[in-house]
Every structure is written in C-alpha cells, then in structure tokens.
C-alpha cells in the first residue's frame, strides 16, 4: 500500500477510487482488442489475420466477463433492497476469476440473498484471489443459512501469501490516500458493515481464508 494510512475517503473520493479500480480491470482486454484491430487494418498475412481475430475474440470475452462482474460487485445492481440469485453470482465469478490457473469450488446453495451480501461475497473472492498469485483454488462455503447466510472463502495454491496491507485495511478501515488498489478491501469492509458483519483475512496452514461473520 503506497503512502501513509489516512482518514476514510468521502463519498466523492470513494466513487472516484472505485471507478479507477474498474478501469484498471478493463484496460488490458480493451487495449488488446485495439491492438488486434490495428493488425487487421494493416492488411496482414492470413496467419497474422487469424491471430488478430483470435486475440479480439478472447479479449472481448474477457472484457465482457469483467464488466458483468464489476457491475454486480461494485455497481448498483438493482434497486435498493433488491435480492440477487447466488446462481447468477456464481456464473459471474467463474467468468471473471476462472482461467488456466485458478478454479472455483462453489459450495453454496442456489437461493436469493440481499444485494449487499452477494456483493460482499464477490469482493471477498477478489481478495482471496490476490493471495494466490500463482493460481490455485478458491473454495466458497456458507456460514449459517437463509437470508442471514455469510461466507468463508479459502484460497489454496502454491506459495499462498497473506497480504498484510489488505488484512490491515479490512481490520482498521484505513487506506492510503488516492490508492485505487486499497479501495477494494476498504469497500469490502463497508459492505460487511452494511450487513452487520465483520470481515477478516487470516493464514490457516498453507491456505489463506477470508471470512465474513
């Protein structure tokens, strides 16, 4: 985390930091689409044209998956008090997180939950993914049942690590000023508080666990 911890951002700064975070997630696949189109504009050889088209297809799919995930994890996603299907959340999480390195073991029942609880879950998964930079498995388990269900996300992978700055933000609610990377765990804490929960990140053996309870 760059800079010294400071006071909580106001609503305007929080919105700006979240927008920066979303743009950071989207810039790579969108940039790859632009690069592919530039190759096509140069009248390439057949093999280069096929490479460019494949790049565009894969990057457009990635951009779409990230947009759908960010809309639910960070956006309004329905009116106040809306409920969200955990099955839909699972599909968006798989589209955003699963790749050749990281997989998801989803052990939640399919039911409707209050919007902020589902947003909390998705943000917990983003945090858990950051603890296994070389890939692995995110195991998502319920704590309790029904509308008051909370969650446990276990990240298991080679050299799983506990990012102390993220654990500190989840615990203290302090972030470095103007830091788009720090805002995501801070936002996760806010979501947990809105649900009457606390969220923590701890190392357990060779895994790292994010728990909301």
What are the tens digits of pLDDT across the range 65-91?
999 999 999 887 655 568 999 999 999
Pairing of the two strands 136-143 and 102-106: parallel
User: For residue 25, what pLDDT is reported?
Assistant: 86
- Mean pLDDT estimate for the chain: 89
Domain of 87, in residue numbers:
5-212
Q: pLDDT for 88-143, tens place per residue?
A: 999 999 999 998 899 999 999 999 999 999 999 999 999 999 999 999 999 999 99
Under the banding of pLDDT at 50, 70 and 90, the label for residue 2 is very low
User: For residue 139, what pLDDT is reported?
Assistant: 98
The CATH number that applies at residue 109 is 3.30.565.10
As a whole number, mean pLDDT of residues 36-63 equals 91
Tokens at 207, concatenated: 């895994």
27 vs 34: CA distance, rounded Å: 10
User: For residue 154, what pLDDT is reported?
Assistant: 98
The count of domains in the chain is: 1
Q: Rounded to two decimals, what is the model's pTM? A: 0.87
36 vs 50: CA distance, rounded Å: 10
Under the banding of pLDDT at 50, 70 and 90, the label for residue 182 is confident
As a whole number, mean pLDDT of residues 28-48 equals 90
208 vs 213: CA distance, rounded Å: 16
Pairing of the two strands 150-156 and 102-106: unpaired
User: For residue 176, what pLDDT is reported?
Assistant: 59
Three-state DSSP string of the chain: CCCCEECCCCHHHHHHHHHHHHHHHHHHHHHHHHHHHHHHHCCCCHHHHHHHHHHHHHHHHHHHHHHHHHHHHHCCCCCCCCEEEHHHHHHHHHHHHCCCCEEEEECCCCCEEEHHHHHHHHHHHHHHHHCCCCCEEEEEEEECCHHHCEEEEEEECCCCCCCHHHHHHHHHCCEECCCCCCHHHHHHHHHHHHCCCCEEEEEECCEEEEEEC
């Amino acid at each position: 985390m760059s800079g010294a911890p400071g006071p909580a951002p106001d609503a305007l700064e929080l919105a700006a930091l979240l927008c920066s975070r979303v743009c950071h997630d989207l810039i790579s696949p969108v940039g790859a689409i632009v690069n592919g189109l530039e190759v096509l504009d140069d009248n390439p050889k057949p093999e280069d044209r096929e490479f460019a088209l494949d790049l565009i297809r894969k990057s457009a799919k990635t951009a779409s998956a990230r947009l759908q995930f960010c809309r639910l994890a960070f956006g309004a996603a329905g009116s106040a008090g809306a409920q969200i299907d955990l099955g839909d959340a699972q599909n968006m999480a798989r589209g955003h997180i699963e790749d050749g390195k990281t997989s998801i073991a989803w052990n939640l029942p399919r039911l409707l939950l209050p919007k902020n609880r589902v947003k909390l879950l998705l943000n917990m998964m983003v945090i858990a993914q950051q603890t296994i930079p070389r890939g692995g498995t995110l195991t998502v388990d319920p704590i309790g049942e029904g509308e008051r269900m909370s969650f446990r996300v276990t990240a298991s992978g080679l050299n799983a690590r506990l990012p102390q700055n993220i654990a500190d933000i989840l615990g203290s609610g302090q972030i470095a000023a103007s830091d788009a990377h720090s805002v995501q765990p801070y936002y996760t804490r806010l979501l947990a508080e809105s649900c009457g929960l606390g969220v923590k990140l701890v190392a357990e053996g060779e895994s790292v666990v994010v728990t909301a309870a």
